[in-house]
Amino acid sequence: MKKINSLKTIKLLALFFISSLALVSCSSDDDHDDDHEHEEELITTVIYTLEDANGNTVTLTFEDLDGDGGADGTTEVSGSFVANTQYSGSIQLLNETEDPAEDITEEVEEEGDEHEFFYTSTISDIVITKNDVDEDGNPIGIDTSLTTGEAGTGSLTIVLKHEPTKPNDGTSEDAGGSTDVEVTFAIEVVFT
Amino acid sequence: MKNILIAICFLVSTVVISQNCKYILKGEVIDFHNATPIEKAVIKIINTNTYAVTDINGKFTLTNICDKSIKIEISHLSCETKTITVNIEEMPFQTIFLEHHLDELDEVVVSANTRTETTSIEQSIKQQTIDNFADKSLGDALNTISGVSSLNTGNTIVKPIIHGLHSSRLLIINNNVRLFDQEWGDEHAPNIDINASNSIEVVKGANTLKYGSDAIGGLILIKPKKYAAIDSLFGSSLISLNSNGNGGIINSEIIKTYKSGYYAKLQASFKRFGDFKAPNYYLTNTGVQSINTSLTMGYNSFEKGFNAYYSIVSNEFAILKSSHIGNVNDLVTAINNEEPSIADDFSYTIDYPKQSILHHLAKVEAYKRFKGIGKLTAQYDFQINRRKEYDLRRGDYSDTPVIDLRLFTTSFQPNLLIDAIDDFEINTGFLLRFQQNDAISGTGVSPLIPDYEKYDAGVYATANYKMDLFNDISAGVRYDFSRIEAVKWYNTTDWEETYNYDELFPEFESGTTDNSETLTYPEFTFHNFSANLGYTRHFSNDFELFFNYGLASRMPNPSELFSDGLHHSAARIETGKLTIGKEVANKFMFSLQRNSQKFGFTISPYYNAINNYIQLIPAGITTTVRGAFPVWEYEQVDARIFGIDVDLDVKLNSKFNYSGSISLLQGDNLTDDIPLIQMPSTNFSNSITYYNKNLNQLSISLNHKTVLQQKRYPDYNFYTYNATVDDYVYVDISTPPSAYSLFGFNSSANFKAFKTGTLKVEFNVENIFNTSYREYLNRLRYFGDELGRNFNLKIKINY
């Protein structure tokens, strides 16, 4: 009786080890030491460059190089806008955790029908129009023009929506979808 | 009579003389359990009339046997009859063991309604209820039990809650295997095919130490059916069709049993639904597809047996499209909108966002009984859980999951049941378990849960003592050792400044940094003790009184320690903390029950004091490129949860039956003197059933359930600046939705089909009045209503 039992135990243990071996071996398609996943879709940097007819530029930059969490993002505005002036604007989204930095604007452009930028300012006479369209003829908003009115101070907000309703009434609220970018800059419009 | 006997004796003796019947067999008959002699057992030589009866010492003598090799049958009034072959020349003295505990045979034959422990406070749902929920989930089925509610993500991802507690605080035991399927996540439903089970028991106390020490909320036992040892082939098929979601389930099972004790069962189900419909609109992208198979085979006899079980559960859950949002302003928009932002026409497509989960579970179990001791069982099991969660993504990553985790768990657990002593039963054993989580690379997102390896070892002993006919007492202790070793990249700013880990845990640092990230090796060891005490008193008139006390302690789960990332559907960043320690609960529970056909009831008050209760609550706002996000952090507080469950069952007359239940619960955060988040509100249900056994077992019932608004909730609402409208907006994430009442209709009838089969037809209506409502315990309650009316037709054939 005892013999049979010990035999059984051995068999059971053997089964135990064989199956665990089999499982360990089939579970190692991922090596453990280098599992460092780079944030591939991360947008670390938003640069909105505005240039007037004379080549003067104002650059609005948002940077959050360590992504979500960690240090909060920072904004920088290179200077003031001039009143009653037209600027041509272009926006650039970068992932600077990659080397060289990945240009995410290209992806947005490729999937233009699934994306749209929205620009709003609390300075009411600033007008921003979108000059580019997606394959369905709806605006994307990578290429813009910005016209200033009277002098004032306020903020400018850039929103990028993923899978918005297109066409929409021009506001990000109406567009719905999910927000991929929402950054706000403190801006100033001055008389020269 | 006497004459006949004499005649027989005469005949026998004549035969004896003629065949030279000189052999004599002596022996004794002994109780397998406690080695005491069995009196009045009958030993009969098969195909003859020769027999003997054991004396008070269990001894017997058979004389005048003609063959040296004979077959004898040993029987006793309350024992399993046994047949053995004896060679008298070799073995003139036989010791025969008989199984004397007839009730124990239930384990081998057909399981009766037995409690997990004689003193445990538990409720169960049976096959019929399981069939009712064939195309729903485990959480939905359990929701019918008082004191049990569910935490939902949409309507297909349903997690059970017992007395306000869920996830890692509940042990789900499937076929004696503790389920490990990344149960820590609020939006991770247990991967169980409800159709593979025969009965489901909910143990509300923390007193089944055999399965673990961390059942702070309770235990859910999913049990397979035991089959009688007869030669038979049978099975059943069920089809269920629903108007809401335009889908249903097909489930089939086939069972082969043998008289020898061998059995095998194969079961498979396929479930498919498209978009479900709220009363006023379709819930776009809420379909589900589920394919499940389970296979079991084994051998059962009283002395020994084995069981092998394998199941695969493959689930694909679409997640409400409009719940994928970007930031807090999107959340505000969703909360303020009456309808979801996306409400398309019906579709079967399961689009992003979605969850795709594959769960394998396999086990081998064997047992043997030893005379005078008891039953030794050993079980080995393993599980692989692969979870992929897909979001709406850009570019090349649009078809790549954002979460891709594989959890592998294997355990070995022997158990010794000592039942040699009458009225006293001991269960003891140990557990060895290894678990490995693998965050599969290639997602392009830092993993929500990092790679880790976890080692567990536990040892326990429980005892039941039947003091007399009216009193049972039980007690148990358990110790568990756990060690977890993880590999995780932390954001350097978080590591050094936000959480100050560089000073708290310098030993975890590897020295490697990369691109503002720091590589760390967090390691933790936990020692958990748990204990229980149970007492049952049986009174006359079917009254029973139970008392349970349970001490349970739980180590923080990987999510509470390590989680770090964005949850789109909640527009929040969830952060685990390395400083989280274990939580310890003391739960007291009484239950007064009456099991009576005419008037039965259960009244169960409970009080659960939890020290260092781990909860996830809003802790601030962080600014990202997507705008503002609330950060939810795990923190520990002292908490208490108390309440009462009442069930009532009244037979109004021979045809009508009333049943009702009410659950009251209050959860308090004692540290901050505020209510606990996510606690079920008061709810009650009533149902009236007409049942006519003679009319094809026709059953018609009307039922009703009311869930009151949760008035006790912690207020974590806040204001956030919305730049696009240049104003502060109020983010109401805390206020629970209003109360609601739902009405349902069920009917069923049984018919004869084929020669031996039966056919059961059911017609049900859920949410008869197409009521629009939202549920506090649904994580997607900000985005859309719950389901509207549903017509359901079920046909089940037993063959």
Residues 6+ away with beta carbon under 8 Å from B158: B136, B137, B138, B139, B140, B143, B150, B151, B152, B189
Does A50 lie in the same domain as A23?
Answer: no
**What average pLDDT does this structure show over A8-37?**
52
Q: Do B395 and A161 touch (CB under 8 A)?
A: no
Q: Which domain holds residue A58?
A: 45-190
Question: Per the domain annotation, does A137 fall within a domain?
Answer: yes
Does A94 lie in the same domain as A27?
Answer: no
B324 touches A at CB < 8 Å: yes
Question: Per the domain annotation, does A142 fall within a domain?
Answer: yes
pLDDT of A21 strictly over 60:
no
pLDDT of B77 strictly over 90:
no
pLDDT digits (tens, 9 = 90+) for B706-723: 999 999 999 999 888 887
Q: A-contacting residues of B 243-272, CB under 8 Å?
A: none
**What average pLDDT does this structure show over B253-277?**
93
Does A49 lie in the same domain as A19?
Answer: no
Distance CA B94, CA B71 (A): 12
Question: Per the domain annotation, does A23 fall within a domain?
Answer: yes
pLDDT of B511 strictly over 50:
yes
pLDDT of B420 strictly over 60:
yes
Question: Per the domain annotation, does A37 fall within a domain?
Answer: no
- pLDDT, position B583: 95
pLDDT of B108 strictly over 50:
no
Q: Which pair of tokens denotes residue B86?
A: 């004896």
Rounded to 5 degrees, φ, ψ at A96 are -90, 5
pLDDT digits (tens, 9 = 90+) for B199-247: 888 888 655 788 988 888 888 988 887 777 888 888 899 999 999 999 9
Interface probe, candidates A17, A104, A182, A184, chain B, greatest B C-beta count within 10 A: A182
- pLDDT, position A175: 86
For residue A100, which residues of chain B lie inside 8 Å, CB to CB? none
**What average pLDDT does this structure show over B786-794?**
96
Cα A160 to Cα A43, B512, B776, distances in angstroms: 11, 35, 31
Mean pLDDT, chain A, rounded, equals 82
Cα B648 to Cα B145, B410, B644, B680, distances in angstroms: 12, 42, 13, 21
Q: A-contacting residues of B 110-129, CB under 8 Å?
A: none
- pLDDT, position B10: 46
Does A75 lie in the same domain as A156?
Answer: yes
Q: Which of A144-148, B106-110, B252-256 has the lowest mean pLDDT?
A: B106-110
Cα B671 to Cα B169, B554, B556, B584, B676, distances in angstroms: 20, 19, 19, 15, 11
Q: Nearest-CA distance from A56 to chain B in Å?
A: 27
Q: B-contacting residues of A 127-186, CB under 8 Å?
A: 154-155, 157, 159, 161-163, 165, 171-173, 176-184
Tell me the Cα Rg of chain B: 30
A23 touches B at CB < 8 Å: yes
pLDDT of B6 strictly over 80:
no
B622 touches A at CB < 8 Å: yes
Does A80 lie in the same domain as A23?
Answer: no
B310 touches A at CB < 8 Å: no
Q: Do A66 and B492 touch (CB under 8 A)?
A: yes
Percentage of chain A exceeding pLDDT 90? 51
pLDDT of B746 strictly over 90:
yes
Please write down the HEC assignment for all residues of B422-438. Answer: CCEEEEEEEEEEEEEEE
Long-range (24+ apart) CB contacts under 8 A made by B75-78 are B75/B41, B75/B42, B75/B44, B76/B29, B76/B38, B76/B40, B76/B41, B76/B42, B76/B100, B77/B40, B78/B102
B336 touches A at CB < 8 Å: no
Long-range (24+ apart) CB contacts under 8 A made by A10-13 are A12/B366, A12/B378, A12/B380
**Nearest C-alpha in A relative to B368:** A5
Percentage of chain B exceeding pLDDT 70? 93
pLDDT digits (tens, 9 = 90+) for A5-20: 555 555 555 555 555 5
B623 touches A at CB < 8 Å: yes
**Nearest C-alpha in A relative to B519:** A36
Q: Nearest-CA distance from B341 to chain A in Å?
A: 7
Split into its structural domains, chain A has a count of 2
How crowded is residue B344: how many other Cβ atoms within 10 Å of its Cβ?
Answer: 14
Q: Hey, is B134 helix, strand or coil?
A: coil
pLDDT-derived band at B761, boundaries 50, 70, 90: very high
pTM here is 0.84
Candidate from B327, B394, B440 with C-beta closest to A41: B394
Q: Which pair of tokens denotes residue B773?
A: 């409502």
Question: Per the domain annotation, does A39 fall within a domain?
Answer: no
Q: Do A20 and B325 touch (CB under 8 A)?
A: no
For residue B725, which residues of chain A lie inside 8 Å, CB to CB? 173
Q: Which pair of tokens denotes residue B1?
A: 């009579």
Q: Nearest-CA distance from B513 to chain A in Å?
A: 11
DSSP secondary structure of chain A: -HHHHHHHHHHHHHHHHHHHHHHHHHT-SS-STT-----SS---EEEEEEEETTS-EEEEEEE-TT-SSSSPPEEEE-SPEETT-EEEEEEEEEETTSSSPEEHHHHHHHTGGGEEEEEEESSTT-EEEE--B-TTS-B--SEEEEE--S-EEEEEEEEEEES--SS-SSSHHHH-SEEEEEEEEEEEEE--
Interface probe, candidates B517, B724, B725, B782, chain A, greatest A C-beta count within 10 A: B724
Does A76 lie in the same domain as A158?
Answer: yes
Does A148 lie in the same domain as A81?
Answer: yes
Rounded to 5 degrees, φ, ψ at A103 are -90, 105
- Identify any residues that bridge with B587 across adjacent strands, giving them in sequence order: B550, B608
- pLDDT, position B294: 93
Does A85 lie in the same domain as A1?
Answer: no
Cα B492 to Cα B385, B502, B511, B518, B635, distances in angstroms: 31, 9, 12, 5, 21
- pLDDT, position B705: 96
Does A183 lie in the same domain as A126?
Answer: yes
Distance CA A107, CA A96 (A): 15
Higher pLDDT, residue B519 or A67: B519
pLDDT digits (tens, 9 = 90+) for B170-206: 999 998 999 998 888 888 999 988 888 888 888 886 5
- pLDDT, position A81: 94
For residue A19, which residues of chain B lie inside 8 Å, CB to CB? 380, 382, 410
Question: Per the domain annotation, does A86 fall within a domain?
Answer: yes
Q: Do A39 and B444 touch (CB under 8 A)?
A: yes
A17 touches B at CB < 8 Å: no
Q: Do B380 and A37 touch (CB under 8 A)?
A: no
Q: Hey, is B2 helix, strand or coil?
A: helix
pLDDT-derived band at B116, boundaries 50, 70, 90: low
Q: A-contacting residues of B 362-401, CB under 8 Å?
A: 364, 366, 368, 378, 380, 382, 384, 392-395, 397
Q: Hey, is B227 helix, strand or coil?
A: coil
Rounded to 5 degrees, φ, ψ at A120 are -135, 150
For residue B568, which residues of chain A lie inside 8 Å, CB to CB? 178
In degrees, to the nearest 5, what angle opens at C-alpha B392 toward C-alphas B389 and B396?
Answer: 95
Give the position of tokens 């003609």: B66
- pLDDT, position B18: 47
For residue B330, which residues of chain A lie inside 8 Å, CB to CB? 178-179
- pLDDT, position B16: 41
Q: Nearest-CA distance from B366 to chain A in Å?
A: 9
Distance CA B49, CA B65 (A): 11
Task: Please give the interface size between A and B, counted as residue pairs whose CB atoms are below 8 Å apart.
Answer: 175
- pLDDT, position B113: 38
- pLDDT, position A7: 52
Higher pLDDT, residue B377 or B80: B377
Q: Do B443 and A107 touch (CB under 8 A)?
A: no
Give the domains, in start order, of chain B with CATH numbers: 2-103 (2.60.40.4130), 113-132+137-220 (2.170.130.10), 221-798 (2.40.170.20)
Mean pLDDT, chain B, rounded, equals 87
pLDDT digits (tens, 9 = 90+) for B421-473: 878 889 999 999 999 999 988 888 888 889 999 999 999 999 989 888 889 89
Q: Which pair of tokens denotes residue B757?
A: 């089969």
pLDDT digits (tens, 9 = 90+) for A107-142: 899 889 999 999 999 998 999 999 999 999 999 999
Distance CA B402, CA B398 (A): 10
Q: Which pair of tokens denotes residue B554?
A: 């739980």
- pLDDT, position B347: 94
Q: Do A66 and B519 touch (CB under 8 A)?
A: no
Residue type, A71: A
Question: Per the domain annotation, does A117 fall within a domain?
Answer: yes
CATH number at A81 reads 2.60.40.1080
Question: Per the domain annotation, does A173 fall within a domain?
Answer: yes
Q: Would you say the C-alpha torsion B767, B773, B776, B782 has a positive or negative sign? A: positive
pLDDT-derived band at B11, boundaries 50, 70, 90: very low
Residue B643: its H or E element: strand B627-651
B624 touches A at CB < 8 Å: yes
Does A65 lie in the same domain as A130?
Answer: yes
Q: B-contacting residues of A 67-126, CB under 8 Å?
A: 67-73, 97, 104, 107-108, 110-111, 115, 118, 120, 122
- B611 and B638 Cβ atoms separated by less than 8 Å: yes
- B563 and B449 Cβ atoms separated by less than 8 Å: yes
How crowded is residue B548: how many other Cβ atoms within 10 Å of its Cβ?
Answer: 27
Does A139 lie in the same domain as A68?
Answer: yes
Does A98 lie in the same domain as A165?
Answer: yes
- pLDDT, position A20: 52
- pLDDT, position A8: 56
Give the position of tokens 């999107």: B330
For residue A69, which residues of chain B lie inside 8 Å, CB to CB? 491, 493-494, 498, 564, 573, 575, 622
**What average pLDDT does this structure show over B551-568?**
88
Q: Which pair of tokens denotes residue B37?
A: 């002699």
